[in-house]
Structure 1
Amino acid sequence: MKHLLAVVVLIVIVTLAVGFLLNPENLLPTLASEEGAFVDQLFSLYAFVIAFFFALIVVILLYSTIVFRRKKGDDKPGANVHGNSVLEIVWSVIPLGIVLFFAGLGAVYLKETLQAEPDEMIVEVTASQWSWRFRYPEFGISSTELNLLEGRQVLFVFESTDVIHSFWVPEFRLKQDVVPGITTTLRLKPTLPGTYKVRCAELCGLNHAYMLAEVTVMEQAEFDAWVASEIDSGALGPADRGAKLAGLNGCAACHSTDGTQSVGPSWRGLFGSEENLEGGSVVLVDEAYLLESILDPNLQVVEGYRPDLMPKVYGDTLSQEEIQDLIAYIRSLEN
């Protein structure tokens, strides 16, 4: 009896210690969404179950090894042990029950996250190598920053222009794959004002690690001021509009604006320069060349750069006016 009592006490102590170490508050970032609370609750339950079985196995193993170790001079063979049908059934049924319990609980939580509220805000998210673009149909705004209103549910509608990406904000807990050719959705309600990071959680190519965007959860007054400032930006000049378009379309992921080498040629001092092309010819970078390179980027590739990275989609996704604004921005980046 004393051995059983000692083992039980040790199991309780180890369970509590490991459970504390695995607590979401100790391991996970700040919780910033209503739906994330469900995830943390599941995580806490997982942690408790893991801690208990870890303690059960390790305590019994170590206690038996130390307390019932072979004594000096005891050379008798150990008892022969054969199968135990009852024990085998028990250690099969209990894990099955635990798995079914968590599956049911997960289904309940999933149903909660899918419930739509009447005033939800729609945000259309376009993922491209290697940038995020956010459009707010309610306000007619597009941005590279994700700004959300505290306490208002958001319906994200995702599309990809190239490969599979995955939208993930650790503080929101939820993650959604973004698949080319398929529209996917995600609902959540931000609850904590602050600035966080949108990350891509699916390996998507060369600059996957840099596919980041800022997400800011705002109070009503701050959000209204941001919307007003974005609407007012319609009065910008061509170069400024082009700079905004470059951000929205992820151009900075491949083209620097400070002269540093990147995946593609730097835009700093590019306009008016002469560039060596693959094949040995030389081209003057003027408006015609820039227009051609935007519409068909693989037609005349600058020497030393890969010809298959820039997608041939901007003739469809950008208007002629937007392309001219982008060219005006490149022209403005003089040495």
Structure 2
Amino acid sequence: MRLSVLDLVPVRTDQTTGDALAASTRLAQVADRSGFERYWVAEHHNMPSVASTSPPVVIAHLAAHTQHIRIGSGGVMLPNHAPLAVAEQFALLEAAHPGRIDLGIGRAPGSDPVTSMALRGPAGRGDADVAEFPQYLDDVMALMGADGVRVAVPRQHYVLKATPAASSVPALWLLGSSAYSAELAAEKGLPYVFAHHFSGQGTAQALELYRSRFRPSEHAERPRTFLTVNAVVADDAAEAAALALPHLHMMVALRTGAPMRPLAVVEDAEAEGVPDQHAGLVDAGLAQAVVGDPVASVRRGTDPATAPGRERTVELLAKELIG
């Protein structure tokens, strides 16, 4: 099985941003020594509990502190950025660390509407940026290619390229959590990552749609996928459930519109508990996650303390890892 890590560079109440980045650096080094396939960082903004606001910057730091593991974005939220800027950043990362850089691209803003508007600046076109996502995706792919993009200007065709002499390009992945992203990845012949950790819904349907409609391309000869799944493993199931609480509290805040704050330490999360009216959100989060001890719960997917659906989640995860 090939396992990878998706990191939001979480910031706890007892940490500074520097502490959080140092912790992620140590984790990436452990993953590197342990033979993990890749280490990705996500793009989120205006969230006190998340420090991964700029994937290219974090990727450059992590790649410089590791040796073998692939480092990438999970992902860059393309509507927030000019395609040329993304292409240049990742072409430069690939030049510095050839054969180790992944560019995972997503369509969501990764933040609230006000922050998204601030990111895009006066030229931002709001929903139009999301609507033109397929074209932006094409632009990034072309700009990182050897031929670049020809832009029509008066009396000439101007050639734009992300780097003047690219010897290799980052591996490109399309991220998503819906049928839209699955169909787009299939149409463009791109490897596809389904964000099961985010929604936990429609996973099997999206993957089936992707595989059935896939068109081979220079990026992938056949369908290529993997899943992102929340996983918490400890010596026993009770400890694993406690370790999962801070993240579950953060997800409840996201779902209910509560003020965001740094990630609670386990002891504070246990003391605070979850209001009865939000217990269903916690149960839903546990149902789509892999939480428990290494053998009885996680490997076999038979922990009776978890919500229904655990067995199917683990079965699907194993299928993706092996396939």
Normalised by the shorter chain, which TM-score bucket? under 0.3
What TM-score, normalized by structure 2, do the two folds share? Answer: 0.22
Give the TM-score normalised by the residue count of structure 1.
0.22
